Every structure is written in structure tokens, then in C-alpha cells.
Chains A and B, each alone.
Chain A
């Protein structure tokens, strides 16, 4: 160890690793937390054999009719209790007789309510003697790639790329500025771009671990498919990570305090956590704001990863998303260099 030091970029990059790896909390949030999150959500949203819906009915006769339907779990209530159960979400639907009709009470904006309506009505009509004019049969297709966990893992990888790049770069730079370490480095012959490059290099190396862990977890434990190649995913992750690193540099270009940079980081990331489709499809937002959502770097990264992993899209097919990421990379980096406060 007492030999001559290595090249400055190497020594600076080592510094980044050491500071990062010697911070146990940072390791938890970067590596362990996303994996736990994937495990938890994967379990919560795993596909159940066949969804049985709980409904309520107010007469024994109705209960008996509805029980003919295998996909319904029927409970008998008084009318008041049934309403209460419906309000509290314990049942998806309440069936009650009124005059000569059967009335269904349910929330029509809730998919479970609508499904329960169809099932309950089928049971009631069949009990009253309706027969199906056409014979039908079912074939069940439960394919890996269309489950929630398959949707979730690329989303979490994208979120992880963004979070790790922005947090680690933002905090490290503002901390160095606050402690005058940056000023001290500028007082040496160190070329300034070496300092910025050391962040990029350390990010790219840590990326392998961060993405690798989550990907391996998804593939081995939940059987999440990779329909393109690992090389394609690596390319997408590098693009994503570079774009977010540049955004991190831009966020950290001016602030002098940790509070200041934290605010900016949250301001940048929060809209993307909500809009970019980490946990649910961004298609659910109104059409009017779709162009904005598509232009966000996290949307581009996640859409590209999903396209590649789940649909086997080629890199050429993902050109729009790669284009969005490249644009963010270039614009943020140029602006960051312009605005950067070196002391």
C-alpha cells in the first residue's frame, strides 16, 4: 500500500466506493430495501388460484340461491348490517329482495363490485330456471410475464436506478461542498472533470450490484422472464443510470446545505414516483398529460426495461425511450457544468 498512488481518477473513484461502502445505512437503502419491497409486494399481489368474492345477502332464500355460484362466498346479514358491511368493504356486493325484484347494491367503480354483480345475477337467474343457450368451456392461461410481480420488478429497477444515482451523487457533492473538501480539492492540481467522472465511474460499478441483486431476486424467486438479453438490459441500465447521474449533478450544482439539496431531490423524484408507473401503469393517468409523463426520464427507463424484459423488444425498438434518456443526460450534464459551484 505504500507504493506510489494510482491515477487520480482511480483514487477518486476509490474514495467514492470507500465512503459509500463504509456507510451501512446507505447500503441498506440501496441494496436490501428494494429487494424487501419486491418480496413484500410480490407476495401481496401474487396470483391467487381463483378469486372468490365475498358478498352479503339478506334472506336465507337468496343466500341459498347465491351459494350455487362457486366463485362467491355468501354471508347472511340483516339489512342494516349488510349496508354496514358494504360500506366497510367487507363484502363487494349486497343482494336484497325488493317488491318482486332482486336488487344489487355495490360500487360500480370498483372492479370487484362489477364482477360480483355479474356472478350474483348469473346465480340468481339460474336458480330461477334460466339455461344457457350456448355450451361453453374454459382454458386457463397463467403465463409468467403477465403477473403483477413481472410488471413490478422492472419498475423497481428503474426506481432504484433513479434513487441511487440522485441520492448518492446529490448528498456526496453537497457534503463535500459544505465541508470545504471540494474547495480543498480544487486547490490541488486535480483536473476538475476527474472529480465529476469519479462519480460516474463509481455509479457504473455499483450499478452492477444494485440491478444485479434485484434482477436475480426477481428471476430466481418469482420467475420473472427476461425475453431479451442480459446485454440489452445492461445497456438500458447504463443509459438510465447516466441520465440520472447527470440529473443528480445538476440538482447538486448549486446548493450549499443538505436541507437545500434534499428538497430539490424530493421535488425532482416525487412526481416521477407517482407518474412514471413504478407500481401501476402510467396509462391510468389522463391522456392529456401522457406526453409529459412519457418525457420523464423514469418513465422512459421503466418503459424500456419492461419492453425489453417482458416483451422482448430490441434496443432499436426502444429508440424513443433511449432518446428521451439521452436528451436528459446531455441537457442535464451541460447545465450542471455551467452552473456548478466549486466552493
Chain B
């Protein structure tokens, strides 16, 4: 590692009237890495990223961006950062090119507007009004205007929230392209698949704090669970019996839906099926998947990332 980290945050705190949004948060993002803040809505991700972007003042704590701070280097920092906010609605009456030109005019350096439009694959929509773009196209335009200053550090706040699966994949490919270009990226998301696919390292946030930090692989390994088995049964199942099965680490039962954390799938599943057959319990649903960041979150907090 050479030079200072791209972003360093120490003991950050921010409270609004009645909620503590960020409660003693530490972060360090290295140059060239794609770092993800993963957490449910209300975990403090947006507040954290907006403090790093210099848009919100923290109550206390230190923020160092590219070795500088917001108090004394705001105008230099603005030139070197690319920012995408959650829920910005760009002027609907302007065209894609007009919008990109407007934002490009604020930066001293950077690629030409047409180049940026090419990068986000909006060439065909160059002359189209923003109001007529699809959700995915609008999001790519938002990405384009974060790139017009050729930023060293890119902040993306929930870049794919609300998009259909195809538009999300398209956006992921773009973000992967930026990673290969050597830019540092800090992104927030509440999609665990997004964090797993894009991020070199992930900080899992809950209630304004980082509760786990590492590469997606490390985090998944840290819970000591490789697989998750979920099933629904037609009758009551004794959790204690399930817990006694070989290879089962933990059991959660909720309204007839049961979730097992399992280390050896090939042993646990046949045993589970035998057990249910012996007790005459009818199986209505059975799913297994490899452990994910979602399971890490569930293990750490007992809740799901997307608490409905």
C-alpha cells in the first residue's frame, strides 16, 4: 500500500432530532479498492456516505478524504470526487447531452461529454430528454455526471435500488469497468448480491455502527456456516430434534418456516428428510443455498437485510 488511504473515518457520530444515525463509526478505504457499506434501510449508510462527501456535517469524529479534510480543502476535494446521490431527479426538460455538458462545465479536467456518454452506453439517447429515459437509463446518466470530472474517488449511494434485474446487471458491469480502471469506489447497498459481486471489502452496518468488516469471502467464512437449508413443513417440527442432527449449527423457526445453518450439506439434508418422514411431517418447500452476506447479517443481528 502506498500513500495515505483514499478515505479514513474515525469515531464518526451524527444524530438527528430523535435518531442516532451514525454512532461511532470507523472506516478505512484503500486506494483502488471497491468498498461496500452493506446494511438495511436506516442503518446509517446514507448519512455516513454524505458526511464523507462533505454534504452533511458530522457531530463529531474525523473524516479524511484523499489525505485532505472538508474544513480546509473543500474546493480541491470537490474537483477530485465523483458523487452519485440517492434519488436525485435531474432536470426532465434537458437532454442527456445538455445535462452532461452542464455538469462537465464545473470541472477543470475530465473527459469530453460525448466520451462520458459513451462510457455509460447512452449514445443512442444523447439527444433525448431526461424525462423520457427509463429508470436504468436515468441511473446511468447519474453515473455519467459523477464521472465528468475524472474522479479519483467515486461515491455511489444505492446505485441500483429500484431497478429491474437487467438494468442492475448492466450497471454492475459499468461499475466493474471503473474498478478495472483503478478508481477507488465507496458504495452503499442493501443488496447482498450486489456487495458480493462488486466489493473487494464490505463493512456490514447496523444501527450506525460497523458490525463486521472483511472481504465477502472472509465474512461468510466467519460465521462458520457453509450452507443454509430452508424448508416449510405441514406440521409442527421440534427445533431441538433438528439441532441434534449431524452438521446442523443453528435452527430458527418462524411460523412453520424453518431455517437451518449447516456445515455439511450432503450429510444434513438426507438426515433431515429421514427425520421428517419418520415423524410423518409433510414437506411443502425445501431450498438450500451457499451461505451469503445475508446469512452473515442474519447471524449477527437475528434480522434480515430487507426487513419488510
Residue ranges of A at the interface with B (Cβ–Cβ < 8 Å): 1-8, 10-12, 14-15, 18-19, 22-23, 179-181, 183-184, 186-190, 343
Contacts and interface: CB of A to CB of B under 8 A. Distances in A.
Given A5-B113, A19-B94, A184-B83, 7 more contacts: A2-B112, A4-B104, A5-B105, A12-B102, A15-B91, A187-B78, A189-B106
A17 B113 CA distance: 20
A343 B54 CA distance: 12
Interface in B14-57: 53-55
B105 A7 contact: yes
26 contacts: A1-B101, A2-B112, A2-B113, A3-B112, A4-B112, A5-B101, A5-B102, A11-B102, A12-B102, A14-B98, A15-B91, A15-B94, A18-B98, A19-B93, A180-B87, A180-B88, A183-B55, A183-B85, A187-B55, A187-B83, A188-B78, A188-B83, A188-B106, A189-B75, A189-B78, A189-B79
B86 to A, nearest CB: 8
Contacts of B107: 188-189
Contact of B94 (A18, A23, A180): A18
Interface string B123-144: 0000000000000000000000
B239 interface: no
Contacts of B101: 1, 5, 11
A187 B94 CA distance: 20
Interface string B93-123: 1100110011111111000111000000000
A183 B54 CA distance: 11
Contacts, number: 78
A226 B194 CA distance: 69
Interface in B285-308: none
Interface of B: 53-55, 75, 78-79, 83, 85, 87-91, 93-94, 97-98, 101-108, 112-114, 145, 149
Contacts of A189: 75, 78-79, 106-108, 149
B88 A183 contact: yes
A325 to B, nearest CB: 31
Contacts of A188: 78, 83, 103, 106-107, 149
A35 to B, nearest CB: 24
B210 to A, nearest CB: 24
Contacts of B114: 2
A184 B88 contact: yes
A18 B96 CA distance: 13
A216 B256 CA distance: 80
A23 B85 contact: no
Nearest to A188: B106
A114 B83 CA distance: 74
Contacts of A186: 55
B36 to A, nearest CB: 20
Contact of B106 (A8, A18, A22, A179): A8
